[in-house]
Structure 1
Amino acid sequence: MKNIYFSEEHELFRESLRGFLQKEVVPNIDTWEETGTIDRSIWTKMGDMGYFGLASPEEYGGLDLDIFYTVIFLEELQRINSGGFAAAMWAHAYLAMTHLKAEGTSAIKEKYLPASISGELIGCLCITEPFGGSDVAGMRSTAVRSGEHYILNGSKTFITNGVYSDYLIVAAKTDPEKGNKGLSIFIVDRDTPGISATKLDKLGWRASDTGEIAFTDVKIPVDNLMGEENKGFSYIMQHFALERLIMGVNAHARAEYALDYTLGYMAERTAFGKTIDKFQALRHTVAEMASEIEMVKSFNYSIANNLNSGDYVVKEASMSKLLSTKIADEVIYKCLQMLGGYGYMEDYPLARMFRDSRLGPIGGGTSEILKEIIAKMVIDKKEYKPAAN
């Protein structure tokens, strides 16, 4: 069936990106998975190819392309079987840079955006805290105004690119008494005194540098405020829709890759005189998995199309992440089972995919939190609205 969302230009881009990743990234993945460090050179190579500027304005060196180029970017990153490498790339381009584009002043954009697009600078987004998790409103970090600076104190955790990035987009309370209405966003250079980071040892996503970051009396120039003071919560909520859709697209793409790989294995593996793709029990399991993947993929494409048209898709994106990550976990679990003992071996891709996929229902808002958000919209008729301009 022809997909209505992808043109010939989209598919040429997919082919080019897939070739680039196979040549420049795949040969290094095992090393980066072992060391937890991605070579700096690949960031500039990705930048040179324009991959960090797909959704950025042309005036800053971006390509300003429609969202389905981003969808292709995310899908192809999942096919190289390193959730950590993929996360490092999209957390830079679609978490840190999204806030840069949306809330950065002209001066901030001129300083950071072209260098982010080129891969010269790497960004990270610092929201989650050790005691907060998905409770953004319960944030404890503070940024107190003192003359021409804010003094930032607090800590963040589970931050992708949190150790090796060059700048940090940081959320902190500028008016703690107002709760979530007293939250602001800042951009902070990594070399600012008072910042320290510790790399976390993770079950999966091992190629990426996930960090815990401490801020001790960090002086931030007033000009580094992103958007309006005390409007940070609405900015964060507004961009969560994109992050959740990204997680949903990642999930359907890795599930699809897992099934494709498993089908190739089943076509060659023999038992009792025939290939295992001829056994009815396994064939029917494949039929269920393929149907579920196709269902959430089509749903995700429709959400992406609506987002591209300017719709506020917080409900649909939350549903996407909830269902897509659940289905991906179940598909990869079943695919690993079909490989038998080989599925448990690190020489085969399913072991790493199994670990990497498990973060899907956790990161970017846990499934439990998403269920309550969806319930509020469906049952309580709560309306989430974009931040006022």
Structure 2
Amino acid sequence: MDAIETEADIAALQEAAERFARERIRPRVDAWEAAGAIAPGLYREAAELGLLGLGYPAALGGTPASWRARNAMAQTLARHGTSGGVLASLFSHNIGLPPLLAHGMPELQAEVIPPVLRGEQVAALGITEPGGGSDVAQLRTTARLDGADYVIDGEKVFITSGLRADWLTLAVRTGPQRGAAGLSFIVVPMDRPGISRTPLQKMGWHCSDTAHLRFDAVRVPQRYRLGEEGDGFRMIMRNFNGERLSLAAMALGFAQACEDEALAWARQRQTFGAALIERQVIRHRFMDMRMRCLSTQAWLDVLSDRADAQDLGPDWVAQVCLLKNHATQTLQFCADAAVQTLGGMGYMRGTVSERIYREVKVMMIGGGAEEIMKELAARQWGL
């Protein structure tokens, strides 16, 4: 796929993404939810369309693309594929590979990135630990040098694609310092002895495998470290900004999916001799949904354009954090409004809105909980 640069390119990408979502994702979601995982072949199907490689260099098998294009794809897949679990699994590499792309040696990039973008291997990110969610600076997983290897001991939890991952970009403590100063990133080949994986059961995202990982004297060559020792915290924070921008795009797409289903229902559902949409209270509910979606779209477009222009001024982190909150609150409102509009059917498995309703909370927590987002934004603005 050629570079995605123009508005026409983005429109063509959205058309391809919508077709892929409608034909290859949406009809299969219920089966994947029941199975607890997406079909492994979906990675290759997405790779063949160039969706996995969007935003990565052509030299590594990717397709250069703007943030506007990447977020348009994420939003489109969310709206028409209607499953957060599918997207979380299919695109876990988009939180696992960016630190490698920014800080890894060329030889390591060439070893890891191309097979992931071809859909042959899976990459993931390992940061969160038991008892230490948002307080990244206090993580306890250690990596000590022993000859030419790091020896890793510790645990990670809530790891998306943790059961399938071939590569894990792992946050570890390499130095004796307390807090952020002693953190580093190491890319871990997940076939190493000493790694155990335990599946976790969740409220939603049933088809996204989520794991509790344990590392018991796992040896990884020193060349798999990213950047210098002690630079990990800065890399983690930078990676979070991209993740939050993508989460906002996905949240908006899911909110629109809820509106789409509820509107179709309201137009055909008859109550007391008239279609539900003819009731003023229902029309006003849709305007509340539309208002929130439009405001989220406008803010997302502005920040996508700023990211493309590298306009990362002093308010950048604050803006991204608050957009993430606004987008997930929009999702929460629209999912609730859709279920209410569908009535009893909205409570039944098999409706889009029921599934998304169960997925709302993970979107509001993942990538940084609402409270953390507000505090980061307040600090950015000196409050």
Which residue of structure 2 lines up, in the alignment, with residue 375 of structure 1? 378
5+ residue gaps in structure 1? Answer: 381-389
Q: Which shifted more, 246-255 or 195-204?
A: 246-255
Q: State the partner residue of 2:139.
A: 139
Shift of 1:336: 0.4
- Aligned partners of 2:258 and 2:335 also within 8 Å: yes
What residue is the counterpart of 2:360 in the other structure? 357
1:333 to 325, 331, 336: 336
2:11 maps to 11
Match of 2:22 in 1: 22
Cα offset, 1:76, TM superposition: 2.1
Is 1:130 the counterpart of 2:146? The answer is no
Contact 1:60 1:114 in 2 (8 A): yes
3-state secondary structure, aligned to 1:360: helix
Match of 1:387 in 2: none
Q: 2:81 — aligned with what?
A: 80
What secondary structure sits across from 2:217 in the alignment? strand
- Alpha-carbon distance in structure 1 between the residues aligned to 2:361 and 2:217: 36
- Matched pairs, number: 375
CA shift for structure 1 position 24: 2.3
Q: Which runs of 5+ in 2 are unaligned?
A: none
Distance of 1:165 and 1:294 partners within structure 2: 36
C-alpha separation in 1, matches of 2:228 and 2:41: 36
Give the aligned residue type for 1:22. R
Aligned to 1:107: 107
Shift of 1:11: 1.1
Q: What displacement does 1:6 show?
A: 7.0
Distance in 1, matches of 2:212 and 2:184, equals 20
Q: Please give the secondary structure, in 1, of the residue aligned with 2:248.
A: helix
| TM-score (norm: length of structure 1) | 0.94
Q: Output the aligned Cα RMSD.
A: 1.3
Partner of 2:252: 252
TM-score (normalised: structure 2): 0.95
SS in 1 for 2:324: helix
SS at match of 1:220: strand
Task: Give how far 1:324 is off.
Answer: 1.0
The answer to whether residue 330 in structure 2 is matched with residue 322 in structure 1 is no
Query: Are 2:347 and 1:344 aligned?
Result: yes
1:30 is displaced (CA, Å) by: 1.3
Q: Distance in 2 between matches of 1:152 and 1:110?
A: 24
Percent identity between the two aligned chains: 31
Q: Distance in 1 between matches of 2:18 and 2:289?
A: 24
Answering whether residue 186 of structure 2 is matched by residue 199 of structure 1, we say: no
Query: Residue by residue, what CA displacement relative to the aligned partner does 1:90-120 show, whole Å, maximum 9, x if unpaired?
Result: 222x101212211211111110111111111
- Structure 1 letter corresponding to 2:26: V
Q: Where does residue 220 of structure 1 map in the other structure?
A: 220
Equivalent position of 1:156 in the other structure: 156
> What SS does the aligned partner of 1:51 have?
coil
Asked if the contact 2:14–2:76 (Cα under 8 Å) also holds between the matched residues in 1, the reply is yes
Preserved CA contact (<8 Å) 1:74 1:90: no
CA contact (8 A) 2:17 2:77 kept: no
Please give the secondary structure, in 1, of the residue aligned with 2:97: helix
